[in-house]
Amino acid sequence: MGQDITLTASDKFELGAYRTTPAGTPKGAVVVIQEIFGVNHHIRAVCDRFAVQGYVAVAPSIFDRTERNFQSGYSPEEVAIARKFVASPDWPAMLLDTQAAIDSVKDVGPVGIIGFCLGGSVAYAAATKLSGLSAAIGYYGGAIVRFADDKPKVPTQLHFGALDHGIPLSDVETIRVKRPEVEVFVYDGAQHGFGCDERASYDKASADVARQRSLAFFAKHLVA
């Protein structure tokens, strides 16, 4: 359904991306930001599903500055390798590459952003710092609490699992207090990564509700 493309950031760095296009006239576009596992099968599937919903979707390879086309599965060994990319995240560089993805689809119509894990934090940061967005959604972004003093410039929705060992509920409460204008949902019984149907932590019931909330949020805010 999709194709691999090349994006060019404002500093002239070229990075890879995966882009899908719907069959009919697009409703708008969605930038999909990866987990630490790269633009892998799951992230490509997320893009494909947005195309089915009528959106152009693009997932930039935000690790290309470190290792081009890195993709990983979810075994303990693969997780350990993937963690090296976030030992000291280069947030400005990831935001440069995210802006390149936004710019690549802004001619389609209104642009939303959605991210998972690391990408959830990038999506939140993008909502506060980047241009060209109309809405932002973040799933289980562990660094969001560190950015919570920054106010999003666009409507923003966040999703967390109540049993996420990496994101204490006290962090979620801090975000709620500092950013009352942001929609925050917590899913009982859900762990980190609950939205990915390829991970052991997948929670279908929570993922289905979160997905419907996400689609409704974009339908409301991605309006030309």
Residue among 103, 164, 171, 203 flagged as catalytic: 164
| Dihedral sign for Cα atoms in the order 57, 12, 40, 160 | negative
Residue among 171, 192, 203, 221 flagged as catalytic: 192
Residue among 117, 159, 196, 203 flagged as catalytic: 117
> Would the pLDDT of 21 be above 90?
yes
The CB-side HSE value for 153 (13 A sphere, CA atoms) comes to 13
Bridge pairing between strands 14-20 and 55-60: antiparallel
> Would the pLDDT of 103 be above 90?
yes
Per-residue pLDDT tens over the stretch 24-45: 999 999 999 999 999 999 999 9
pLDDT given at position 160:
98
% of the chain surpassing 90 pLDDT: 96
Mean pLDDT estimate for the chain: 97
Average pLDDT over residues 122-127: 98
pLDDT given at position 182:
98
pLDDT given at position 219:
97
> Could you tell me which residues are beta bridge partners of residue 135?
112
| Per-residue DSSP letter, 195 | T
**Other CB atoms closer than 10 Å to residue 179's CB: what's the count?**
21
Q: What is the pTM of this model?
A: 0.98
Catalytic-residue membership of 165: no
In order of start, what are the domains of the chain with their CATH numbers? 2-221 (3.40.50.1820)
Catalytic-residue membership of 164: yes
Nearest to 8 by CA among 100, 105, 107: 100
Catalytic-residue membership of 117: yes
pLDDT given at position 88:
87
pLDDT given at position 85:
83
Helices (H) and strands (E) in the chain, counts: 6, 8
Average pLDDT over residues 209-213: 98
pLDDT given at position 49:
98
> Would the pLDDT of 153 be above 90?
yes
pLDDT given at position 1:
73
